[in-house]
Amino acid sequence: MKLGFEESQTSYTSGSQSARAWTEAWVKAWAYCPHCGTAKMSQFPNNSPVADFLCGSCSEEFELKSQKGKFGPKVADGAYKTKCERLAASNNPNLLLMNYDLKTLAVVNLLIVPKHFFVHDIIEERKPLAATARRAGWIGSNILLGKVPESGKIHIVQNGVIRDKELVLAEWQKTLFLRDQSLESRGWLLDVMKCVESLGKRDFTLEEVYAFERHLGDLYPGNQNVRPKIRQQLQFLRDRGFIEFLARGNYRLKS
């Protein structure tokens, strides 16, 4: 894998068109499938509704978003209705986020948000376009990246350094158990995972997670038994190998 772009011979009318051509060509040439490890991915035709790339070996689909600076807590995405409809679909795309440097014409960061981290709560509906807009009334969406647990942000390239492929594949496999869960069940698991990660340490206690009881209660006002639900999620995460049980009320995040 090399990080530099190959400049296209095609003439574009804007810098954004050039950047899109460079970034898409780079993914097609150098990005591998994090699900099965296949070295190359194929590209969908331009203007496909949601996805940009496809792994021919395992049929995983990927949507690419790229920009010069690092992504903030929100990432602008496509049509809100289409995005929501695809959430439960088997071909809902994984998200590739790329940052690049225009001076060096090279990739700086490339991370993947696996599709099993997508739930309704991280898809935000944007305001309809104004009546004077070319696509008046169109409703787009934002991906609330800040709501995604860190385990759902897998770097292939980080700060200009290519990460070991085996590490990337292992991190991908670590959370695949989420795909077997319904959207509702996944929501609880992801919120508890994010609470645990926010503690900022590998070893933690049940009491420390209980400190998020009010926060989780606000997220799920219909649930009057938040503490038992927390214990249930921790047990599930333990059974799936995401965390380790150390002793009564004590756990460890697996690396």
Please give the order of strands across the beta sheet that includes 123-125: 74-79, 140-144, 123-125
DSSP element (H, E) containing 218: helix 213-219
Set out the domains of the chain in order of their start, with CATH numbers: 15-180 (3.40.210.30), 184-253 (1.10.10.10)
Say what the pLDDT of residue 57 is: 94
Average the pLDDT over 236-253 and give the result: 95
- The answer on pLDDT for 9 being more than 50 is no
Q: pLDDT averaged over the chain?
A: 90
Which of the four pLDDT bands, split at 50, 70 and 90, describes residue 14? Answer: low
Which tops the pLDDT comparison, 208 or 52? Answer: 208
Say what the pLDDT of residue 204 is: 97
- The answer on pLDDT for 12 being more than 60 is no
Say what the pLDDT of residue 20 is: 83
135 by Cβ neighbours in 10 Å (0-12 / 13-18 / 19+) ranks as exposed
What's the one-letter identity of residue 216? Answer: L
Average the pLDDT over 180-206 and give the result: 94
> pLDDT of 21-37, one tens digit each?
889 999 999 999 999 99
161: three-class secondary structure by DSSP: strand
Beta carbons within 8 Å of 82's beta carbon, 6+ residues apart: 49, 50
- The answer on pLDDT for 188 being more than 80 is yes
Of 13-17, 66-70, 129-133, 250-254, the range with the lowest mean pLDDT is: 13-17
- Cβ atoms within 10 Å of 36's Cβ, excluding its own: 13
What's the one-letter identity of residue 34? Answer: P
The pLDDT > 90 percentage for the chain reads 71
> pLDDT of 47-88, one tens digit each?
666 688 999 999 999 999 999 988 999 999 888 998 888 887
Tokens, residue 169 = 């594949």
